[in-house]
Structures are given as structure tokens and as C-alpha cells.
Amino acid sequence: MMTPLRVALLGLGNVGAGVAKLLLEQPDRLALRAGRPIELRHVIVRDLKKPRPVPLPPGLASDDYRRVVSDREVDVAIELIGGVTPTFEIFQELLDSGKDVVTANKALLCERGAALFARARSLGRTIAFEGAVAGGIPIIACINQSMTANQITGIEAILNGTSNFILTEMLARDRPYPQILKEAQRLGYAEANPAMDVDGTDAAQKLGLLVQLAFGTKVPLTSFTREGIDTLELADLKYAAELGYTVKLLAVAKLVDGQLEMHVQPTLVHRDRPLAQCGGAFNMIALDGDAVGKTVLSGAGAGQMPAASAVVADLIDMASGRAALTFPRIDVWNARPPLPVQRPEDVANRYYLRFNVQDRPHVFADIADILGRNGISLASIIQHEAPEDESRESIVPLVVMTHRTTYGRLVAADHELDQLDSLLPPRIRMPVAD
């Protein structure tokens, strides 16, 4: 049992450096828990001249991943290169050359995971990917191992720390999105190009991966509603708070009458719910299982050492032999027919709506009439007094919370509302989590 697990690390960015740190600084701890030493044999970097935050033993670093592919002694490759191209091809070469692979590359698994999983399976190889979703939170192990007695019936999650940080700060500091984004970039909570984080893509990729594991169904990113926080106005966060809710970028997947309700959207969450209380750059995932009920996990969804903790846990699972037993039985091989995804127009929720109306007689009656005729009934309304009249007719926000209705009805009502010349853009619409 004392044969070491021989490991190659591909990519020495932020998370890669964290993994190298754990492997080099904690060999005894890891050996004890793995049942054998874990030996780092190669570190593949793009630019050998770049200074590194972790001092590497001589001879370890190289800029040629083929050194790993051709080293028959390497048992496990840790893919922390990131991106889809050329990583997909490298990943395949690693599998083909007999390496098991640990990865935290959620974008790759989202786009090409099915192909990689199938290839690994046909080769008798193992892929482990705890670090790909929600960093240090053990959500993959929870679904693939701890909740195996259950049919998971629902996932509600905050999966993007950048968005959550920005939403928390906008409200706490009473500043609009662009200002807080800049600050988040300065503090390292948002990247120079934050598009994937703030437009909902990152959360949607992660949700897609969780759905694949929990429901055995691969859902393309284009088949469900995906909205980000990048167009949110501070005013709506404040109205939501006034109504008792916190706005979160919520990733939702639920079994509803044999279909999968699935969406990533800014969503109102009642302030008493744990998901509303998850602030800052943290992640939280609430799972519903048909036996266990609701189980909630939260923690650091990103960051060097939390992600490295997940990657090294996978490595220890590889070393102990557990990963090879888990991978062939994850629910993507369940051979059940894939679940149909509910059409966006059929998704039923309560909704938060904000209209900008000209402060004229009958405007509210007109709106309520249109909503009512489309089967949308109102649960509560906020209309504050109009600001003192200036030169022009004043514009006032009208906020309503609907009772449960479908997205399709809202769209139908929208076409009629378009005819009202007393309504000015934008019109805001967010679902309310039950």
C-alpha cells in the first residue's frame, strides 16, 4: 500500500499554486489520509520564466504537457489549465495515455464533459471534479455519495461569488452596479473581464453540471432562462428589501410534474431563508431529497485554497481508490430517459414587477386591468408618493408582487402593456423563490 501516487500538475495559476502548496508543504498529512504518499512529478506551466509564488523543487517544471503524457509512471494528472481549447484535446491525450484526471474546469465539463466522461469510462479511467462547482463546498460528493438514497427533487443555489458579492455590496453601500463592479475588480472579487460571472453564464454552467449529476440529464445552456445581474438597478434591490426580500442570482432546478424547471435569474428570496442570508463572495446550495428533505451547504465558492482543498480531496480519493469506485456509478450513467426541460413560458412563480409610470389618473387601473385579464393577480403593491412636480410630468415607479402565475402570462400581458403610452422603459421582472 505504500506505492506513492504519482501526480502531474498542469497549470500553475491561482488554484494550481494552491494545490502545489498543499502537496509540497503537507506531504505527511496527505499520505496519512490517502494511505500512501502523493508524489508531485511534473508541473506544467505556460511560461517557465514567470516568477512563481510557490518554490518548486528543481526539475519539476516544464512548459511541455507531452512530458506528462509520455511519462508512464504518472497515475493522475491535475488539469488546471482552464478553458476549452486546447484543454479538451490535452485532456483526451491524458486519458488515452492512461492517466486518471482531476479537474476544476467547469467550462470544459459543461461544454465537453459528456464526451470526456464517456471516453474515460470506455478506457476504464476516472475523472474527479469536486473543484468544478462551488470551490470548497463538497457539493459533488454530496450528490454522488451522501444523497444516493434519494431522488433529488430540487436544487436552489448561489453559485457565483462575484455576483453575490456585488449584490451584497450594492445594497449595503447604497451604490449602483457600475461603481461596485469597479470596486470588486479592485479587490480581486471580479476579473478584468467579468462578463461570464455577471451575465449568469458561470452560474448556468455550474447548474448544468449539478443537474447532470442529480437528474442524469444534460441540458444545453440555451434551453433555459439565463439572466445576470449586470442590468440590475439599485432601486429594485431596495424595493425588494422593503417587501422583505433579498435579490440573489439564484440557480434553480426542480422536478415539476416529471419535467425539469430550470433557470438562472436574479430572484427575490425571502429574508428569513438561508439563501437570502448568504452574503459576500460566498456560495450556498440547498438540495431537496425525497428522503432527507432539505440539506444546505455553504462556504467559499472560489479562491485559491478553498478550490485547492477540493482538488486535493479528489486526489486523496484517487489515491485511496474511492474515486475509481464512484466515477462509474454517478447518475449520468443512469440509463433513464432524459427529463424534458419545462418551456420557459410554463415556468410558474410569483413575480416582482416594476413599472415606470407617468403620474396620471387611471394609469394604475390600466395596468391592473391588463394584468388581470391575463390571469395575473396582485398580492402587494408599492407606490411611493411622487417627487415634487418639476417642469415635466413626473415619472414614478410602481412595484407589484403577483400571486403565482406563469412567465407566459407575463409575456402576453407585456404585449398589451406595450400599448400604454404612460409606461416608460425599463420594465423589470424578477421571479420570487417560494
Catalytic positions are 206
Q: How far apart are CA 229 and CA 219, in angstroms?
A: 22
Binding mask 19-58 for its own copies (x = CB under 8 A): ---x---x--xx-xxxx-----------------------
Q: How far is CA 305 from CA 103, 142, 164, in A?
A: 15, 20, 19
Q: Quote the least distance from Cβ 339 to its own copies, whole Å.
A: 15
Q: Which is nearer to its own copies, 98 or 280 (CB)?
A: 280
Q: To the nearest whole angstrom, how small is the minimum distance from the Cβ of residue 376 to its own copies? A: 33
Q: Is 291 in the site for its own copies (CB under 8 A)?
A: yes
Buried b (16+ CB within 10 A) or exposed e, 277-314: ebbebbbbbbbbbeeeeeeebbbbbbbbbbbbbbbbbb
The residue within the footprint of its own copies, chosen from 12, 68, 141, 167 (CB under 8 A), is: 141
Minimum CB distance to its own copies smaller for 82 or for 299 = 299
- 209, 218 contact by CB (below 8 A): no
C-beta closer to its own copies: residue 83 or 244: 244
User: What would the x/- binding string for its own copies be over residues 113 to 132, using CB under 8 A?
Assistant: -----------------x--
Cβ-contact 206, 253 below 8 angstroms: no
Question: At closest approach, how far in Å is the CB of 7 from its own copies?
Answer: 13
Q: How far is the CB of 88 from its own copies (least distance, A)?
A: 27
Instruction: Tell me if 250 contacts its own copies by CB under 8 A.
Output: no
Nearer to its own copies, 260 or 311 (CB): 311
Residues 322-351 contacting its own copies, CB under 8 A: 322, 325-326, 328-329, 331, 334-335
The distance from CA 429 to its chain's CA centroid, rounded to whole angstroms, is 21
Q: How many CB atoms lie within 10 A of CB 149?
A: 9
149 binds its own copies, rule: CB under 8 A: yes
18 binds its own copies (CB under 8 A): yes
Shortest spacing between CB 291 and its own copies, in angstroms: 4
Stretch that binds its own copies, among 111-119, 146-154, 222-230, 347-355 (CB under 8 A): 146-154
Site for its own copies contains 148 (CB under 8 A): yes
Closest CA to 104 of 123, 80, 75: 80
Interior CA angle at 424 toward 423 and 425, to 5°? 130
Interface contacts to its own copies, rule CB under 8 A: 18, 22, 26, 29-30, 32-35, 130, 136-138, 141-142, 145-151, 274, 277, 289, 291-300, 303, 305-306, 308-310, 312-313, 316-317, 320-322, 325-326, 328-329, 331, 334-335
